[in-house]
Amino acid sequence: MKKTYQILNILGFIGVLVMNYLANALPLGGRNTGEISGLYPTLFTPTGLTFAIWGLIYLLLAVFIVLQSRGLFQKDKPTQSFVDAIGPWFFINCLANMAWLLAWHHLMIGLAMVIMLVILASLIIIYERLQIGRVEPGAGVKYGVFMPFSVYLGWITVATIANASILLTDIGWDGFGISPVIWTVIMLVIGTLLGMIMLFQRRDIAYALVLVWAFAGIYAAVKMNDEANLVAKTAVSLATLLVLGAIVQGGRKLLMGRRGSF
């Protein structure tokens, strides 16, 4: 099955790249991906530049695809053990990614939310099956497998919250009488708690730094909005907290590495 997974992973990744290109080149539904976010303004949506992180995510995933493909066309060379650990879940993730683009571009926000949860679930399963943060692999797997999925999961965590806020805007939810500013602050706090858990339970600095990037994008989007001043201040404060947490965790890793060298 390993070689089957390798081939499916390659095909799935190519499909995602092609679909993303077509979604914005055609574009699907007459609008590019970013324009649709503008139809549903929320305080949790980062500024447009923030979405450039997709370029990094796809670059890292390309490295993963190359690494997981080693031995595919060599009969006597064993495939990578992490391929079996990931199983069909990366291919499922790719299918969901493509399906999300179709739903999003055709303004099926509720369906897009459901699909986003599938994307999130598939990444959590991959993360757990790889035991990221619980095992210490070689440099190749650490940077070519673990890091791509840490960054990807970090961004999809943010995207899931953003999609939920857009869905609630779409259906006209009144927030139980609580202002959008307070709800956004609550979502930022939840994101920060997740980042801290990943930092100190899974030692995942990459995941936390993706949240920092997203919070910086949220700050940039609302900093000129006087009514959202609390959101801007909260985003900066929590991003700073995550950076400090990443520095502490990085220092701990460095100390542990030095001790292990004696």
pLDDT in tens, 63-86: 999 999 988 877 656 667 899 999
DSSP 23-66: HHHTTGGGS-HHHHHHHS--TTSPPGGGGGHHHHHHHHHHHHHH
Residues 50 and 227: their CA atoms lie apart, in Å, by 22
Nearest alpha-carbon partner for 121 in 145, 102, 95: 95
Q: Global pTM?
A: 0.95
List the domain boundaries for the chain: 2-260
Q: How many CB atoms lie within 10 A of CB 167?
A: 18
pLDDT of residue 17: 98
pLDDT of residue 50: 97
Residues 201 and 256: their CA atoms lie apart, in Å, by 16
70: left (phi over 0), alpha (psi -120 to 50) or beta: beta
Residues 210 and 261: their CA atoms lie apart, in Å, by 30
Residues 13 and 158: their CA atoms lie apart, in Å, by 21
Regions of the chain where pLDDT drops below 50: 260-262
pLDDT of residue 161: 97
Residues 64 and 144: their CA atoms lie apart, in Å, by 5
- In one-letter notation, the amino acid at residue 63 is V
CB 79 within 8 A of CB 60: no
